[in-house]
Amino acid sequence: MIFQSKKKIKVGIIGGAGYGGTELIKLLLFHPKVVLSFVTSRKHTGVKISQVHRFLRGTTELSFIEPNIETLPQETDLVFLATPHGTSMNLVPRLMERMPKARIIDLSGDFRLEDPELYRQYYGKEHSAPDLLEKFVYGLTELNRSAVSHARYVANPGCFATGIIFPLFPLLRADAVKESVSVVAVTGSSGSGELPKEATHHPVRAKNFKSYKILEHQHIPEIERFIRDSFFKQKESHSNTQGNAAVENRQHQRQGNGPGPRIGFVPQSGPFVRGIYTTVMVYNPEIDEEEIRAAFEMLYKKEKFVRIVDGSPEVTMVYGTNFVEVAWACRRGFVVSMSAIDNLVKGASGQAVQNMNVMFGFAEDEGIRFPGMLP
């Protein structure tokens, strides 16, 4: 049952010093349905938020508090976890005990996978709360809205996963994908977090371009899981509208109950700060261009945060916003589908607030519908 409230909800953030947590603070301070009651930071305990994040001076008098679960206010309605991978899985069981009525949105990768063995493989550590994995709903809002609306616990998607699933899903809907998908996505330096690293140091990155985690990025299994769990369910719900039973039968015969298409993903480091630009490409000489167009329009035409654009999406057009731009092209049997997002907003904190809005029955764009900056 969807929770609806006429009064403001009390919200807390665990991990407010990093880029994702900082973006959350900014969004929630100006959300008309939210009271930001606490923000934790072990490093900055006792220091005013506006002293650590000077651009927020004049907007809040809150200070960071110690991330001690046992002393956090029990009357909290929702907790955001903006913590590094490997931290949330240790905090969530304690949060559930301390705040049994609170809802949780985790921005890390700790609860995006259903298989603890896959978590160990891609994140390099054992999962400490494997029994809780199935309790979390995958929070790609536009494509999993119904599940999010009834969820108590949401795993916010990864930034690359968000940038990839938006352009990939219409290709699946149009039966353009046969066996494999090639993906290249270029990300800005903010995706590496607030702590300086050799590979993300600005003098190095500003004049460089490279790939990393080639074909082994940790967002691959969450994309594959979402496709497996969502594709046939959503396809079935739309098949009558499309009137495309033949396509539906081919998809079932080809993929059956298997894991879906193989995804070859190459992430790349771009010489900019914010944004992810994604290119998804498949080869299918039998593709019907009108089916591609229909799939994009059916999925996204009515979505408040998705813009279908001609030509190419642009990172500049979504900078600092919760919007995603998508586009596609077909030539000589190749199908290219593209997207642009801000990795810290649509790829993280903005999407988390969007999920919060859906979970609590608020307008989905409440507090997060604003344009970017140009130039």
Q: Which residues does the annotation mark as catalytic?
A: 159
- Token duo for residue 293: 């167009």
Residue 72 near residue 5 (C-beta atoms within 8 A): no
Longest dimension (CA), the chain: 63
Contacts of 307 (CB under 8 A, 6+ apart): 317, 323, 324, 325, 326
Print the SS3 string covering 239-257: HHHHCCHHHHHHHHHHHCC
Q: Are strands 306-308 and 324-331 parallel, antiparallel or unpaired?
A: parallel
Distance, in Å, from the CA atom of 143 to the CA atom of 239, rounded to the nearest integer, reads 16
- Written as six digits, the tokens of 287 are 């593709």
Residue 28, classed as helix, strand or coil, is helix
Which pair of structure tokens corresponds to residue 302?
Answer: 């009515």
Closest CA to 184 of 139, 215, 223, 156: 215
Cβ atoms of residues 274 and 344 within 8 Å:
yes
